[in-house]
A = this chain, B = another copy of it.
Amino acid sequence: MITCFGETMLRLSPPGAYRIAQAQSFDIVFGGAESNVGAALANFGEDVRWVSKMPENEIADACLRWMRSFGMDVSKVVRGGSRMGVFYLEKGASLRPSKVIYDRKGSAISEAQPGDFDWDAILEGTDAFFFTGITPAIGETLPGIVEDALTVCRAKKIPVFCDINYRPTLWTPDIAGAAMRKLIRGLCTLVANEEHADLLLGVKSDKTGDDKLYDIARKLCETYEIGRVVLTLRQSHSSDDNTVSAVMYDSVTGEFVKSKEYRVHIVDRVGGGDALSAGLIYCTRLGRSLQDTIEFASAANALKHSVHGDVLMASAEEVQRLASSSDGTVRMIR
């Protein structure tokens, strides 16, 4: 059982390439970094539990219905509070950037209290725990609640995975850095990027190219006693076309690997990093090699860009097929 903890919001987006000002309807999905990771893992065939706090209304009911459709266990979701967070996604196109407008203030989970979560019960049977840097950012009580969860993880020797996922609209680098430095200590695997390593965690390097990435990953492991670090890379050629890849470092073996680069034509940009985290957890639990792990995780990231919504809708076989393809060409399957 993999347990994911965080906020999930109703996502409202104009159809196709419409701007918000032009929309007469919004397409809806539910999205949140931790449930995105959980749903992708469930699609890979894993047992997943998603934990959060949600209000008692039909919107939250619809969200739980959505979570269950992946096969995720939602029996530990706490009900209460006043509202679900909402975010508006206006998909970009060509030279027009995508925009996200958050309306998450006052959401049930952001006002959760430590007593809401009985982590001993919640983590019963769990053998991997996942959260992102968004969870402690959404409310004042949240860093403490995450800390509670991590304390139980330590006691139960549950490996913890975390994506640093810094959101400047939620907190400042100073506050975020102070909180995250505490929470990431002793992680099994941390996902970050060069910018956030510097900004929040105070780790940078004067080198260039792969040496620089190696340097940053190694220092992060050393400084925060982390088992493995993944650094993600993205180039945005336009709103329609990006190139993504990742590197990974293992502090035990000292191994450093790079994934293939994928040029992706974008159907939906949101959730790429979450798909990567899901791939990472999936391969880690299977004990696959570092190279295989980063290839699978990067392929999951790349593939996510071709799928509508926040969640990677793909089987582990589909991800592996892309990860294993020598030339990336894609032929119709029939």
* Chain A residues near B (Cβ < 8 Å): 12, 15-28, 57-59, 61-62, 65-66, 68-71, 82-84, 86, 88, 90, 92-103, 105-106, 167, 169, 235-241, 262, 264-267, 269, 302-303, 305-309, 313-314, 318, 322, 328-334
Residues of B within 8 Å of A25, CB to CB, are 15, 25-28
- A334 pairs with B169, CB closer than 8 A: yes
Write the chain B residue with the least CB distance to A98.
B332
- A96 pairs with B303, CB closer than 8 A: yes
The 9 closest A-B pairs by CB, nearest first: A100-B334, A69-B69, A96-B306, A94-B306, A93-B306, A94-B265, A98-B332, A20-B58, A17-B267
Copies of this protein chain in the complex:
6
Residues of B within 8 Å of A267, CB to CB, are 17, 93-94
A61 to B308, CA, bound (A): 18
- B94 pairs with A308, CB closer than 8 A: no
Residues of B within 8 Å of A70, CB to CB, are 65, 68
- B97 pairs with A313, CB closer than 8 A: no
A17-B308, A106-B106 known; A95+B262 contact, CB < 8 A: yes
- A58 pairs with B97, CB closer than 8 A: no
Contact among B20, B69, B83 for A59, CB-based, below 8 A: B20
A24 to B12, CA, bound (A): 10
A138 to B329, CA, bound (A): 30
- B69 pairs with A334, CB closer than 8 A: no
A240 to B266, CA, bound (A): 11
A102 to B82, CA, bound (A): 10
Residues of B within 8 Å of A102, CB to CB, are 334
Residues of B within 8 Å of A331, CB to CB, are 97, 236
- B65 pairs with A100, CB closer than 8 A: no
- B21 pairs with A61, CB closer than 8 A: yes
A94-B265, A267-B94 known; A101+B58 contact, CB < 8 A: yes
Extra inter-chain contacts (13) besides given A25-B26, A94-B264, CB under 8 Å: A16-B16, A20-B58, A25-B25, A58-B101, A93-B306, A95-B302, A96-B303, A97-B332, A99-B332, A100-B334, A102-B334, A167-B334, A241-B265
Residues of B within 8 Å of A27, CB to CB, are 24-25
CB distance from A109 to the nearest CB of B (A): 15
A57 to B101, CA, bound (A): 8
- A62 pairs with B21, CB closer than 8 A: yes
Residues of B within 8 Å of A16, CB to CB, are 16, 308
Contact among B66, B93, B95, B314 for A322, CB-based, below 8 A: B95
Write the chain B residue with the least CB distance to A270.
B332
A313 to B62, CA, bound (A): 11
Q: Name 24 interchain pairs, CB-CB below 8 A, sorted by A.
A: A12-B12, A17-B267, A18-B308, A19-B313, A20-B61, A24-B24, A24-B28, A26-B26, A26-B28, A59-B103, A69-B69, A84-B103, A86-B86, A92-B332, A94-B264, A94-B267, A96-B307, A96-B314, A105-B106, A106-B106, A169-B334, A235-B329, A236-B329, A236-B331
